[in-house]
Structure 1
Amino acid sequence: MKYFLLAICFLFISVETFGQQFSQYNTGTLYDSFENPGQSTFKPDTSYNLAFNFFVPNFNSNVYLTGNGQVPLKSRAFAGKYLNTNLVLGNNRFSRANIEANIYSLMFKVYTSLDGDQEIGISTQTRAEGRGLFSDETLLLLTGFDKFTGDVYDNILNNQYTEQTYHQVSFSYREKVNKQFAIGFKLSALLGIQYQKLQIDQSRIEFDKLNDLANISLQGRYRISFTPGEFSGRDLLPTLRNPGASISIGTVYRTRDNFTIQANVKDLGFIHWYKRSKTSNFNTTRTALDLNTNRREDNLYAAAYGIIRSADTEGAFVTPTNGKAEVSANRSYWFDYDRTIKYSPTIVLQKELFYEGYTAAIVNPVQYNNLVGTLTSSYNNYGIFTTGLQFMVKAPNVEFYMGTDRLIQTANLFSSAGKSNAAINKSASYSGADFFLGFSLKFGRLIEHPLNGSRIPLGERPGFLKRIWDNIFHPGRDDGS
């Protein structure tokens, strides 16, 4: 999809691949350990002590769209025209878009000590976050004004969208402070790429059908961190122009009855967008001409763009990242005496910290020796239910996985992209696509317990988190340090 109409729907923004992924929970992959910092990626006596993705991108990507706007936008993107199927005038109906991406270009971890299962790592990644709401009437307007029987309409164009992209350079540390509890964190420097936010609080449109025009009035706020038309490929390179920081903290607790409880606060941070960014508190009117011609879309775009950029002022501003809080519970079950077949279901609850979104998911991996098949289902507060599949090869020192958390919707969207009329016109609760892929290897020396070791250990100092833990919960105990 080259252009995706969000918010006012006169403003096109580039759609990239975005996503939210649950299939990696409790897999012990390198990706899992960076996303859930309390999770370990090494296993003593079977793993080597270095893990690396060798610059093979590990990523997940997702986009979804709900509401009556699905068919019009898919038909515009893939067939070059708007089909106003199911669009309703005057019922305050909105379509919702959500987009998010996470691409790791570098992941490297070192197992530093058996005493505390200490791990340190570095990573570089690129993230994107976006969401939007736009009205049925906005899309109806793009098909012409035949459906608009009146001459004046108020607040039918009150749309909004937000999107930001940034690079992330991180340091991670994980330690097992006792037999049951582990904690980890990821500290990140953020390098902003671009940001846009549009919110229309009030709107009015007056049709002059005799003269084939409309007067459009909008009031709201627009922010943008770059100059459209001047953004180029070199602007994707990391710079210190838009600095920021974030933190992720993860804990893992293993109960006496072998349940694994995880709690995470992820990507809690901010970005400071540089002083030449623009903010426009707009409240004005523009005229869109020739609404019954093939210039309609361009003319509506020009009118809306002229309004939202009518009050530009330069200045820096700060935006939050899309932080999340998560809790999960997992337990493994072996199906045979030789322990070759394992079922490890995980239940995950996730809440966005700065938005209203929350999601519940259940991850169902079945492992046979080194092969893993996973069925994942999730449901969120927007009424979206997803089902996906993952295939994984998970050996002690090799891991590869691929899959989708939206299997049916991804297939349908690819059919739409192939200009299948049946797929384009299909009525569904939502449209979307999702795909993820990952790879890493472990190398170096084998991690060995002293009793199994092929070398004589010289003694290892407990990790600093364990020393803090012991000082709090076991004051006065001699830890040997």
Structure 2
Amino acid sequence: MKNFLLAICFLFISVETFGQQFSQYNTGTLYDSFENPARAAFIPDTTYKIAFNFFIPNFNSNLYLTGNGQVPLKSRAFDGKYLNTGLTIEQGRFSRANLNANVYTIMFKVFTSLDGNSEVGFSTQTRAEGRGLFTDESLLLLNGSDDFKKDDYSNILNNSYTFQTYHQISASYREKISKNFAFGVKLSALLGIQYQKLDITQSHIQFDRANDAADITLQGQYRINYTSGEFNKRDIIPSLRNPGAAISIGTAFKTRDNFNIQFNVKDLGFIHWSKRSIVSDFNTTRTVPDINTYRREDNLYATTYTIIRSGDAAKSFITPTNGKLEISANKSYWFDYDKRFKYSPTVILQKEVFYDGYTAALVNPVQYNNFVGTLSASYNNYGIFSAGLQFMVKAPNAEFYIGSDRLMQSVSLAGAAGRSDSQINKNTSFTGADFFLGFSLKFGQLIEHPMNSSHIPLGDRPGFLKRLWNSIFHPGRDLGD
């Protein structure tokens, strides 16, 4: 329990590590083509045949925290003390934390067939996924027992959290099957790094004020794949100890009135954590001493830890990745005859497969020549509204972008990290941060149609999917690009 709360404090200090964002949709960047497999990274007669990030990490990072826990956690993380502003007792209030990370270390893609308009890619990335719920009373307890007027409480410490990190090694294939339809797939091998999950389903606390102590009873399950306190940098090195697999599938369809419709199933997969992992089904009572002294945090943590580890048993288990279903619609509008000034809005609907989260987003990029400015807005089922900005330089064979999908919250959190009292004490609808950055180049031979070719073409065959499509729906007739 407290392990999670302190982890949240750490997350606020390390906001550059975690995230998720929408601003890359329909940008045609290399990152966009790996995240949305049906999107093309190359344009015939315009770009070179090979795209690479040259080992420069492309990443996005995001976290948010809702509820009354915002001020106490910010004050504890940045000012070394708890400000219990707004925390309640026995009102069923809780705070929600969510974080995601996606860091591409290698992105490499090749245009393999002009007639088939197909692309093959390889990537390596590291992901982090986490979410949790914790009650107001859990935070209040970390500041001692003075705010608890009764001596006996039930189910006020029913907290839960899940956190996992893993490496992802992927191969991708994208093909334009017809003039208006493209299909892409990304197959991934997963290598688990770290996993923790805590579910407290029942709890009870009884204060012994005469002895400055409290008896805590917790019931639930705890799972962890490593030995606490012994995890080190060597454990981050990829290994086959915790294997898994995932798939992303994307389709892109262009309508007669030039709307681009995308449907994606993203990162649907699992990880098998090794038999050296621990599963603890606990239902135990322990006494917390010195609950009002300066050692109360350490004592609460130590007592809680002994409870949740009281049922330890070595056991393997399988966990899902945070797969998503997405559908989007996009259309471009040119504002001048020379096609230098373009507006290309995208509407996105996203649903998490294994959780209850869903999000609607609107991405508004405005492009002038090679410069793109994007205003994005999103709203999810937890009542969180976010707005962000992105700046991009998008030349045919070079791209760079930087931005945040939660700009104001990121600025506010940076102020809190700088020990600004006004930002630390601010309790808004949510506290959050978001940052993303990317770069890639294209090189090699220019992709040319035969009529424009500066060399003698050797001849391309249509891609496999296009040949299959033609054999079923259009026998004897090639649809062309």
Distance across 2 between alignment mates of 1:274 and 1:226: 9
1:330 to 2:352 alignment: no
1:366 to 2:370 alignment: no
Pairs within 5 Å for 1:317-466: 317-466=317-466
1:62-99 deviation line (CA, Å, top 9, x unaligned)? 11000000000000000000000000111000100001
2:54 aligned partner, one-letter code: F
1:241-265 deviation line (CA, Å, top 9, x unaligned)? 0000000000110011110000000
Counterpart position of 2:265: 265
Distance across 2 between alignment mates of 1:468 and 1:288: 68
Structure 1 residues 149 and 436: CA distance shift in structure 2, 3 A = same
Moved more, 351-360 or 459-468: 459-468
1:11-35 deviation line (CA, Å, top 9, x unaligned)? 7785352111100000000000000
Counterpart position of 2:103: 103
Distance across 2 between alignment mates of 1:286 and 1:402: 50
Q: For the Cα contact (< 8 Å) 2:18–2:61, is it kept in 1?
A: yes
Q: For the Cα contact (< 8 Å) 1:11–1:305, is it kept in 2?
A: no
Structure 1 residues 310 and 14: CA distance shift in structure 2, 3 A = farther
Distance across 2 between alignment mates of 1:113 and 1:11: 48
Distance across 1 between alignment mates of 2:368 and 2:9: 44
Counterpart position of 1:188: 188
1:72 aligned partner, one-letter code: P
Counterpart position of 2:470: 470
Counterpart position of 1:19: 19
Distance across 1 between alignment mates of 2:420 and 2:331: 43
Unaligned runs of 5+ in 1: none
Counterpart position of 2:139: 139
1:391-434 deviation line (CA, Å, top 9, x unaligned)? 00000000000000000000000000001111000121000111
Structure 1 residues 10 and 22: CA distance shift in structure 2, 3 A = closer
SS class of match (1:302): helix
Distance across 2 between alignment mates of 1:371 and 1:5: 47
Q: For the Cα contact (< 8 Å) 1:347–1:360, is it kept in 2?
A: yes
| 1:327 CA drift (Å) | 0.2
Counterpart position of 1:289: 289
Q: For the Cα contact (< 8 Å) 2:9–2:77, is it kept in 1?
A: no
Count of matched residue pairs: 475
Counterpart position of 2:241: 241
2:179 aligned partner, one-letter code: K
Counterpart position of 1:224: 224
1:51 aligned partner, one-letter code: A
SS class of match (1:416): helix
Q: For the Cα contact (< 8 Å) 1:166–1:190, is it kept in 2?
A: yes
1:201-245 deviation line (CA, Å, top 9, x unaligned)? 000000011110000000000000000111000101100100000
| 1:167 CA drift (Å) | 0.2
Distance across 1 between alignment mates of 2:469 and 2:65: 46
Counterpart position of 1:68: 68
Q: For the Cα contact (< 8 Å) 2:104–2:125, is it kept in 1?
A: yes
Distance across 2 between alignment mates of 1:151 and 1:159: 20
Distance across 1 between alignment mates of 2:385 and 2:361: 10
Distance across 1 between alignment mates of 2:265 and 2:418: 40
Distance across 1 between alignment mates of 2:160 and 2:183: 39
Counterpart position of 1:51: 51
Q: For the Cα contact (< 8 Å) 2:184–2:251, is it kept in 1?
A: yes
Q: For the Cα contact (< 8 Å) 2:9–2:73, is it kept in 1?
A: no
SS class of match (1:177): strand
Distance across 1 between alignment mates of 2:372 and 2:426: 33
Unaligned runs of 5+ in 2: none
Counterpart position of 1:42: 42
SS class of match (2:411): helix
RMSD: 1.4
1:317-362 deviation line (CA, Å, top 9, x unaligned)? 0000000000000000011111111000000000000000000000
2:59 aligned partner, one-letter code: F
SS class of match (1:268): strand
TM-score, normalised with respect to structure 1: 0.97
Distance across 2 between alignment mates of 1:284 and 1:10: 22
Distance across 2 between alignment mates of 1:13 and 1:188: 32
2:476 aligned partner, one-letter code: R
Distance across 1 between alignment mates of 2:9 and 2:194: 12
| 1:477 CA drift (Å) | 2.6
SS class of match (2:178): coil
Counterpart position of 1:274: 274
SS class of match (2:240): coil
1:116 to 2:116 alignment: yes
Structure 1 residues 336 and 5: CA distance shift in structure 2, 3 A = farther
Moved more, 303-312 or 449-458: 449-458
Counterpart position of 1:163: 163
1:228 aligned partner, one-letter code: S
Q: For the Cα contact (< 8 Å) 1:11–1:301, is it kept in 2?
A: no
Counterpart position of 2:302: 302
Q: For the Cα contact (< 8 Å) 2:9–2:76, is it kept in 1?
A: no
Q: For the Cα contact (< 8 Å) 1:5–1:13, is it kept in 2?
A: no
SS class of match (1:229): coil
Structure 1 residues 12 and 94: CA distance shift in structure 2, 3 A = closer
